[in-house]
Homo-oligomer: A and B are copies of this chain.
Amino acid sequence: MIGVFDSGVGGLTVVKEIFKYLPEYQIIYFGDTARLPYGTKGEKFVKKYSAKITDWLIKKGAKIIIVACNTSSAWAADSLKKEFSAHGGSASGGKNVPIFEMITPAIKEAKRVSRNRKIGIIGTPGTIKSGVYEKKLSQLNNGFRIFSKDCPLFVPLVEEGWVEGGVTEEIAREYLKPIKQKNIDALILGCTHYPLLKNVIVKIMGGKVKIVNPAESLIKEVKLFLKNNPKIESQLKKGNKHQFFFSDTPYNFQKISHLCFKRKIKIKVQDPF
């Protein structure tokens, strides 16, 4: 199966892209609602639970892992790769599970679409504070400038289902003002909830700014990876018996599920940790 995890329901926007680009594979999803939000938590905490969840998903049969949470991607992806994927080698018990994270594919895409080399990034306080986008960008290439802004109210707005309307636009206008003034021409939505606010964000940023949805960039990359790695691809179960686990009852779940998939989804609530 394709293992996907997030701190809560936000990762469903990643599942949406899997349904679109990789509809044939079975998904096992874990949302750590008992401990959400990760965005305001510390680095050690995020690393610890990202590793526990990855281990649990692998034991449940996941053959690849998608870290569908920007905060985990920012703080835990490197240590997860060391512990669970090829690079860990025999020292990690011979485990060889590919780990995919949200940051790198989004930066590649933003670089591709930006003309003036000014890229904006919005996310939770944890993601922005980590400075991970700046770090990864400087590893990949020079000459790009990145302007970041945290938007702490965007997640609660989405979870309330307020993805449009006056209040949401006013909050978005306030948050986006400083990066709009920098004349960016590409904007990375650095939190899994934010694609659900895309219409409002486009309205405020204007049509000339390309919006990069990391979920879409990531799943396109996974698709390419599976094409190039038929041995791993052949281990993935096919079919639509998807499983959605949450460590606590998710708040307003059916509203979010409807925003993502236009339908209800069956979930299981259990906290294995």
Q: A-side interface residues toward B, CB under 8 Å?
A: 33-35, 40-42, 45, 125, 152-153, 155-157, 159-160, 162, 166-167, 170-171, 174, 248-249, 251, 269, 271
Report A246 CB to chain B, min CB distance, Å: 10
| Total copies of this chain within the assembly | 2
Complex Cα spacing A174 to B125, Å:
27
Tell me which residues across on chain B come within 8 A of A155, comparing CB atoms: 156
Report A10 CB to chain B, min CB distance, Å: 14
Of the candidates B42, B152, B159, B271, the one whose C-beta lies within 8 Å of that of A249 is B42
Of the candidates B34, B157, B160, B251, the one whose C-beta lies within 8 Å of that of A35 is B34
Tell me which residues across on chain B come within 8 A of A35, comparing CB atoms: 34-35
State whether A34 and B45 are in contact (beta carbons under 8 Å apart), knowing that A152-B156, A152-B159, A153-B160 are contacts in the complex: yes
State whether A251 and B156 are in contact (beta carbons under 8 Å apart), knowing that A34-B41, A167-B171 are contacts in the complex: no
Report A264 CB to chain B, min CB distance, Å: 19
A125-B251, A167-B174, A170-B170 given. 18 additional CB < 8 A pairs?
A33-B40, A34-B35, A34-B45, A35-B35, A41-B249, A42-B249, A42-B269, A45-B248, A45-B271, A152-B156, A152-B159, A153-B153, A153-B157, A153-B160, A155-B156, A156-B156, A166-B170, A167-B167
Complex Cα spacing A156 to B151, Å:
11
Report A71 CB to chain B, min CB distance, Å: 12
Complex Cα spacing A42 to B248, Å:
6
Complex Cα spacing A171 to B162, Å:
11
Of the candidates B34, B40, B166, B170, the one whose C-beta lies within 8 Å of that of A251 is B40
Report A7 CB to chain B, min CB distance, Å: 12
State whether A160 and B170 are in contact (beta carbons under 8 Å apart), knowing that A34-B41, A42-B249, A251-B125 are contacts in the complex: no
Complex Cα spacing A50 to B250, Å:
20
Complex Cα spacing A176 to B47, Å:
40
